[in-house]
Amino acid sequence: MVIGYGRIGSILCKMLAGLGAKVHAVVNKSRSAALANSAGHEVVTFKAMNHYLPDMDVIYNTVPKILLDKNNMHLINEKALIIDLAAPPYGVDAIAGRDLGLKILFSSSLPGKIAPVTTAMYILSTIHQIINEMNNAI
């Protein structure tokens, strides 16, 4: 399961599917749902996410808002692995996870740690694109 289908989530879903995983993409927008569905992923709404949690072996979070907390983490299989890729305040309640004995890895800013030069080039390219769009809008 990949929670969030933005820049990171969509790429992660594609990579996991490429490795042969059955990917559940948790989305909150109809556009994201359409993109995830067209990529062959199982689309899950945030509202329906709790229904799927017990069956997940690995759960990735990319949303920087607590979505996995004491209210739903008890549904997660104790053998599952949770990997939080979101920036602070993250998306996983670490205290609730610890109390339930769940395995959680916090790996925010991973691209910048692993490939800082490439990451910086992508950020610079995005900044240029935003500036060009602003100039064209004037």
What pLDDT shows up at residue 44? 98
- Mean pLDDT confidence for 97-115: 79
- E strands along the chain, which residues? 2-3, 24-27, 42-45, 58-61, 81-84, 103-106
Same domain, 21 and 64: yes
Average pLDDT, the chain: 89
How far is Cα 7 from Cα 5, in angstroms, rounded to an integer?
7
In tens, the pLDDT along 40-59 reads 999 999 999 999 999 999 99
Same domain, 37 and 86: yes
Same domain, 101 and 129: no
- Mean pLDDT confidence for 93-114: 82
How far is Cα 44 from Cα 54, in angstroms, rounded to an integer?
14
Same domain, 73 and 118: no
- Report helix, strand or coil for 102: coil
Q: Which residues contact 6 (CB under 8 A, 6 or more apart)?
A: 32, 62, 63
How far is Cα 50 from Cα 70, in angstroms, rounded to an integer?
12
Give 8's pLDDT tier (boundaries 50, 70, 90). confident
Same domain, 20 and 70: yes
Give 66's pLDDT tier (boundaries 50, 70, 90). very high
Strand partners, 62: none
Question: Which of 123 and 65 is assigned the larger pLDDT?
Answer: 65
**Domain extent for 44:** 2-107
Same domain, 77 and 93: yes
Helix (H) or strand (E) holding 28: none
- Chain centre to alpha carbon of residue 128: 26
What pLDDT shows up at residue 111? 59
In tens, the pLDDT along 107-136 reads 866 555 566 677 677 777 878 888 888 888
